[in-house]
Amino acid sequence: MNDPRTLVSHPELESQQSFPHFRTVGEPPRNALERVLSVFADVRAGEGLGVLLLAVTVFLLLAGYYLLKTAREALILTEGGAEVKAYSSAAQAVLLLLVVPAYGWLASRVARVPLIGLSNAFFAATLLVFASLRAAGTPVGIVFYIWLGIFNVFVISQFWAFANDVYTEGQGRRLFPFIGVGSSLGAWLGAEAAGALVTYTTADPGTLMIGTAALLAVCFGLIVVVNRREVQRSDAVGRRQSDAPIEGRNGFALIVADRYLLLIAALMVLLNIVNTSGEFLLSKLVVADAAAHVTGGDVGARQRYIGAFYGAFFGRVNLLGLLLQLFVTSRLLRAIGVRGALFVLPVLALVNYSVIAVAPVLAVVGALKVLENSTDYSIQNTVRQALFLPTTREAKYKAKAAIDTFFMRLGDVTQALIVRVGTGMGAGVAAFAWLNVALTVAWLALAGQIAREHRRRTV
C-alpha cells in the first residue's frame, strides 16, 4: 500500500476534497494567504499569490474603466454630443471588424506577454493623446465615447484570455470565481472613487485619463509577475507555450469553423439583447415615475430624481454582485459545474420578464433588475469566462476577443433596432417584456446546445 504522504494530488481530475474544507489527499500544506482565500474559493497550495495578483489586476482594470466612464460622461454631455449614444454601438461594431483581425495578426507573431504589453501600451498612449488634445482645447467627446466602448470590452477580454491560458481547465473552474471578486470590487469601488475624485478634488477628464494610463502600466507589470510565476510552476510544455506566438486563423474565421465557438458568440448576442432590453424597460418606467412625482416642468428636479434612483440602483447591483461573487459563485460551480451554471441567469430572466409582463411596476421591475444584473456580473460572467477553458490557445485569445467585443456590440445594435421598431409600432412595457420572455426561451435552448458541446469537449 502506498504511503499517503507520497500520494500525488490530481486536483484537475475527479475531486477528492469536500468543499468548503479545501483538503485534498496528498496535497502540500497551504500558507496563511491560501487558507484565507480558501474561504471564498478552492485555492490550493502554491496558487494563492498568483490568483491574488490576477484579482488585483482585474480590479485595477475595472477601476480604471469606471474612471474613464466618468470622464466620458463629462465630455459627451458638455460637448453637445449626447446623441452619439444612439449610434456608438454601431460605430464600435464597424471598427471592431478591423480591430479584431489586426489583433489576431499581432497575436500570431508575438508571445502572450508581449501581446498584452503592446495592447496596453497602445491604449495607454491613446489615453495620453486624448488628454493632450483636451488640454489643447480640442473636442474629443464623441471619438472618446466610441473609443471607450472598444477599450472596456477589449482589455477585459484579453485579461481573461491570459487567465484561461495560464490555468488548466480544472484550475480555472476553481479559481475564476475568486478572480471575479476583483472584477466586482473594481466596478464598485472604481465608481465610488471616480465620483469622490470629481466631487472633492480638482480632477478633470484629462486627469482621469492620465491616471488610467498609469493603472494600465501597473496591470501589465502584474501580468509579467504572474506569467513568470506560473511558468516556473508549469511543465516543459507550459514553458514552451508561454514563449510561443498564438498561431492559427483570425478570430472570425475560428468562430465560423467551430460550432462551440459559434454557439458562444450567439449566446453573447442574445444575452446582450435581453439585458439591454430590460434596461430600456427600466428606463421607461423611471422616466414615467419621475414625471409623476415631479410636476411643473422642472427639468433639473427630474434629473435629480432620476439620478437618485439610478445611484441607489447601481449601488444595490454592485453590492449584491460582490456578495454573490464572494459567497455563491464558487460554491455553485462546485455543486452544479459550468454546464449547470449556464442555466442560472436565463431561468432567472425568464421568471423576471414573465412577472414584468403582468406587473410592469417600477418597484417590481427595479428589484428584479437588481437581481438579474448582479447575477449577470457575478455568476454569469464567471461561467462565460470558464466556457473557454477547454478551447485551443488561438480560440482563447483570438476568437474570445471577437466574441467579447464585436458580438457583444452586435447585440447592442440589434437591441437598438428592436427598440426602434417596437416603439414605432407603439409597443409598451408589457409587449417588450413578452418579447424578452420569448428571447429567453431561445436563450435556454442555446444554453442546452452549449452544454452538450462543452460536455463533448471535456469528457
Under the banding of pLDDT at 50, 70 and 90, the label for residue 349 is very high
Note the pLDDT of residue 77: 59
Asked whether the beta carbons of 214 and 64 are under 8 A apart, the reply is no
Under the banding of pLDDT at 50, 70 and 90, the label for residue 9 is very low
Note the pLDDT of residue 223: 98
> What stretches of 205-360 show up as alpha helix (H) in DSSP?
205-233, 236-243, 251-257, 259-293, 299-327, 329-341, 344-358
- Using the predicted structure, report yes or no on whether residue 192 has a pLDDT greater than 70: yes
- Using the predicted structure, report yes or no on whether residue 158 has a pLDDT greater than 80: yes
Q: Summarize pLDDT for 391-435 with one digit per residue, the tens.
A: 999 999 999 999 999 999 999 889 889 988 998 999 999 999 999
Give the C-alpha separation, 155 to 200, whole Å. Answer: 29
Give first-to-last CA distance, the chain, whole Å: 30
Note the pLDDT of residue 414: 92
Give the C-alpha separation, 80 to 63, whole Å. Answer: 26
- Using the predicted structure, report yes or no on whether residue 79 has a pLDDT greater than 70: no
User: How does the average pLDDT of the chain come out, rounded?
Assistant: 87
Note the pLDDT of residue 84: 60
> Which fold, 249-459?
Growth Hormone; Chain: A; (1.20.1250)
Q: Summarize pLDDT for 103-156 with one digit per residue, the tens.
A: 999 999 999 999 999 999 999 999 999 999 999 989 888 889 889 989 999 999
Measured between alpha carbons, how far is residue 172 from residues 178, 337, 347, 418 in Å?
10, 12, 24, 36
Under the banding of pLDDT at 50, 70 and 90, the label for residue 389 is very high
Query: Smallest Cα–Cα separation from 349: which of 452, 406, 417, 270?
Result: 270
Note the pLDDT of residue 104: 94
- Using the predicted structure, report yes or no on whether residue 3 has a pLDDT greater than 50: no
The mean per-residue pLDDT over the stretch 262-271 comes to 97
Note the pLDDT of residue 89: 75
Note the pLDDT of residue 296: 67
The mean per-residue pLDDT over the stretch 19-47 comes to 79
Note the pLDDT of residue 7: 35
Taking the CB of residue 102, how many other CB atoms lie within 10 A of it?
10
The mean per-residue pLDDT over the stretch 195-224 comes to 89
The mean per-residue pLDDT over the stretch 88-107 comes to 90
Residues with Cβ < 8 Å from 264, sequence gap 6 or more? 384, 387, 388, 403, 450
The mean per-residue pLDDT over the stretch 192-210 comes to 82
Q: Summarize pLDDT for 159-177 with one digit per residue, the tens.
A: 999 999 999 999 999 999 9
The mean per-residue pLDDT over the stretch 345-373 comes to 95
Give the C-alpha separation, 306 to 308, whole Å. Answer: 5
Note the pLDDT of residue 185: 92
Segments making up each domain of the chain, as ranges: 40-247, 249-459
Distance of CA 334 to the CA centre of its chain: 21
Note the pLDDT of residue 379: 96
CA 58-261-279 angle, to 5 degrees, is 60
Note the pLDDT of residue 23: 52
**pLDDT-wise least confident of 200-209, 290-299, 337-346, 395-404:** 290-299
Under the banding of pLDDT at 50, 70 and 90, the label for residue 228 is very high
How would you classify residue 46: left for phi > 0, otherwise alpha for psi between -120 and 50, otherwise beta? left
Under the banding of pLDDT at 50, 70 and 90, the label for residue 1 is very low
Query: Smallest Cα–Cα separation from 183: which of 332, 54, 295?
Result: 54
Note the pLDDT of residue 410: 93
Note the pLDDT of residue 304: 78
Note the pLDDT of residue 400: 96
Give the C-alpha separation, 16 to 27, whole Å. Answer: 11
> Which fold, 40-247?
Growth Hormone; Chain: A; (1.20.1250)
Under the banding of pLDDT at 50, 70 and 90, the label for residue 80 is low
Give the C-alpha separation, 43 to 34, whole Å. Answer: 6
Under the banding of pLDDT at 50, 70 and 90, the label for residue 6 is very low
Asked whether the beta carbons of 347 and 291 are under 8 A apart, the reply is no
Tell me the three cell numbers of residue 135.
Answer: 488640454
